[in-house]
Amino acid sequence: MSLFTQEKVKYVGTKGLKAGDGFHYYNPDEMINGKKMSEWLKFSVAYWHTMDQRLVDPFGDGTAQRPWDNITDPMEQALAKVDYLFEFLDKMNVEYFAFHDRDLAPEGDTLRETNENLDKVIDKIVEKMQETGKKVLWNTSSLFTNPRFVAGGATAPFADILAYSAAQIKHSLEIAKRVNSENYVFWGGREGYESLLNTDMKREQEHIAKFFKMAKDYANEIGYTGQFLLEPKPKEPTSHQYDTDAATTIAFLKEYGLEDIFKLNLEGNHAYLAGHTYEHEVRVARDAGLLGSLDANMGDKLIGWDIDEFPNDIYEATLVMYEMLKDGGLKTGGLNFDAKPRRQSFTMDDLFLAHTAGMDTYAAGLKVASRLIEDKVLDDVITDRYSSFDSGIGADFESGKVTFKELEDYIIDIPQEKLIESTKSGHLEQLKATLNNYIFSTLGK
Ligand code: XUL
Ligand code: CO
């Protein structure tokens, strides 16, 4: 018996222009660069949005209409939502989901009681996973919602709160092992500060570094081998988040010797808030060998806060998929829809349509990116642009054969005219128009 009235979403191709009749681009078995589309695109449903989000904004109550709204007992509703989740995954043809501990079950008065509530829901999730073959991309712990985390979790200036955080993560890692999560995510919700006037920043960062090492030790102790991921985000909720962007997060990992333990989970909207493009963040992680997973969402460039919109920007999706393909795929990572429909898109149909649109956007981006790679469009441009380092003085510099003095001897009498001749136009307008042509011609069939 079906819980949702909506039908299973199927691949229909691009026969019509109006969206809503199925996937236009997401064709799971289609081969792209030697692998099935479904293998490149390990999509994941985010429990906190898809099952829990009421579509609130900073000024208004939730508008969401969901079939489980009339179940008033919190534990009963929590258990019922598990059935809805698994039917949703089936109908959307999504293989993975992701969750915070607190998304699943209400808290009790003590951590022991909270764990008991949570374990009841996990028992049901494990059963459903065995029945359906669906998998967990990652789980995580919310160390930011409850008032006890007012000044952070692992960076809280209060030892009891740090102890509580450790115990909470310990239980989450046990859950990660039970549900075989492919990754374990840490997003430092309130790990940051409001003012230096009352903050010992160094002590807080030393605490969280030690905390991460202890988390890894515990994972090793219980035999949990999933990949640890750290998710950068600036500004929200504290004015100074410690893991502001990919580069800052990588510097932190290296400073504390954690770069072999962690990779990064990168989110589109977080990139904009940090003043970067999404593809920039992915490139920074790729260059450091630390690209882990993607929280596939986007923001509104006119709004200054995190709105977690479902992806619909083909240009951005193409460039992010380009980085992913160049990295050889996401390994243990996937594309998690840390995204919610707009507040005015409050029906259950909208939730189906939003996921369909997000999956199609990344499927389309993957197709374009794969053609760009096949035709070496950007590779050729970049090879040519740096070619003066492939021989002569450039190659001598790269291989460490020349000193500053020798570089000076080489260049000191070269006239300005010759120097200008040694530079080349970047042809950016042509390049961007070429990229547009690849988008039009790959998707316009
Ligand atoms: C918050 C955010 C989180 C993390 C997991 O902006 O992205 O949902 O992905 O805690
Ligand atoms: Co996220």
Tens-level pLDDT at each residue, the chain (445 residues): 899 999 999 999 987 889 999 999 999 999 999 999 999 999 999 999 999 999 999 999 999 999 999 999 999 999 999 999 999 999 999 999 999 999 999 999 999 999 999 999 999 999 999 999 999 999 999 999 999 999 999 999 999 999 999 999 999 999 999 999 999 999 999 999 999 999 999 999 999 999 999 999 999 999 999 999 999 999 999 999 999 999 999 999 999 999 999 999 999 999 999 999 999 999 999 999 999 999 999 999 899 899 999 999 999 999 999 999 999 999 999 999 999 999 999 999 999 999 999 999 999 999 999 999 999 999 999 999 999 999 999 999 999 999 999 999 999 999 999 999 999 999 999 999 999 999 999 998 6
- Is the distance from CB of 280 to CB of 171 less than 8 angstroms? no
CA 235, 266, 41 angle in degrees (round to 5)?
Answer: 150
| Residue 336 Cα: closest atom of ligand 1 | 9
**Rounded to the nearest 5 degrees, what angle is found at the Cα of 266, between the Cα atoms of 383 and 268?**
90
Residue 110, classed as helix, strand or coil, is coil
Q: Going by DSSP bridges, is the β-strand pair 43-46/262-267 parallel, antiparallel, or unpaired? A: unpaired
Look at residues 63, 96, 89, 112 and name the one whose alpha carbon lies nearest to residue 4: 89
Specify whether the backbone of 223 is left (phi greater than 0), alpha (psi in -120 to 50) or beta: left
What pLDDT, on a 0 to 100 scale, did the predictor assign at position 16? 84
- Nearest one of 119, 110, 139 to 219, comparing CA atoms: 139
Residue 101 C-alpha to ligand 1 middle, in angstroms?
A: 13
Report the Cα–Cα distance between both ends of the chain, in Å, rounded.
38
Nearest atom in ligand 1 to 308's CA = 6
Residues designated as active site: 100, 103
Pocket mutation for ligand 1, best pick of 142, 181, 186, 233 (most atoms within 8 Å of C-beta): 233
Whether the model clears a pTM of 0.85, i.e. scores above it, the answer is yes
Q: What's the CA gap between 186 and 232, in Å, rounded?
A: 9
- Classified as helix, coil or strand, 46 is strand
| Helical H segments across 13-158, by residue range | 37-40, 47-50, 74-92, 101-104, 111-132
Supply the residue whose CA is at minimum distance from atom 8 of ligand 1: 338
Which ligand minimizes its atom distance to the CA of 294?
A: 2
Count Cβ atoms within 10 A of the Cβ of residue 416 and give its class: 0-12 exposed, 13-18 middle, 19 or more buried: exposed
Q: Is the peptide bond before 234 cis (omega within 30 degrees of 0)?
A: no
- Closest ligand to 100 CA? 1
d(CA 274, CA 170): 31
Q: How far is 376 from 326, CA to CA, in rounded Å?
A: 11
Q: Is 3 exposed, middle or buried (0-12, 13-18, 19+ CB in 10 A)?
A: middle
Of all ligands present, the nearest one to the C-alpha of 189 is 1
Q: Residue 1: its pLDDT value, please? A: 82
Instruction: Name the residue with the closest Cα to ligand 1, atom 5.
Output: 187
What is the 363 CA–ligand 2 centroid distance (Å)?
Answer: 20
- Helix or strand or coil: residue 168? helix
Q: What pLDDT sits at residue 445? A: 63
Which of 140, 186, 190, 278 best tests ligand 1's pocket when mutated (most atoms within 8 Å of CB)?
140
User: Partners of 32 in the beta sheet?
Assistant: 35
- CA distances to 188, 304, 342 from 24, rounded to whole Å, are 37, 32, 22
The CA 388 to ligand 1 mean position distance, Å, reads 44
Within 8 A by CB and 6+ apart from 428, the residues are none
Rounded Cα distance, 78 and 61, in Å: 21
Amino acid residing at 257? G
What is the reported pLDDT for 291? 99
Pocket mutation for ligand 1, best pick of 139, 172, 267, 309 (most atoms within 8 Å of C-beta): 267
Question: What is the DSSP annotation of 30-44?
Answer: -EETTEEHHHH--EE
Q: Dig out the tokens for 423 from the structure.
A: 């530079």
What whole-number distance in Å separates Cα of residue 366 and Cα of residue 371? Answer: 9
Atom of ligand 1 nearest to the CA of 236: 6
Which atom of ligand 1 lies closest to the CA of 267?
7
- Token pair 């904009």 is found at 272
> Half-sphere exposure of residue 61, counting CA atoms within 13 Å on the CB side?
1
Ligand 1 neighbours, Cβ below 6 Å, are 100, 140, 185, 187, 231, 233, 267, 295, 306, 338
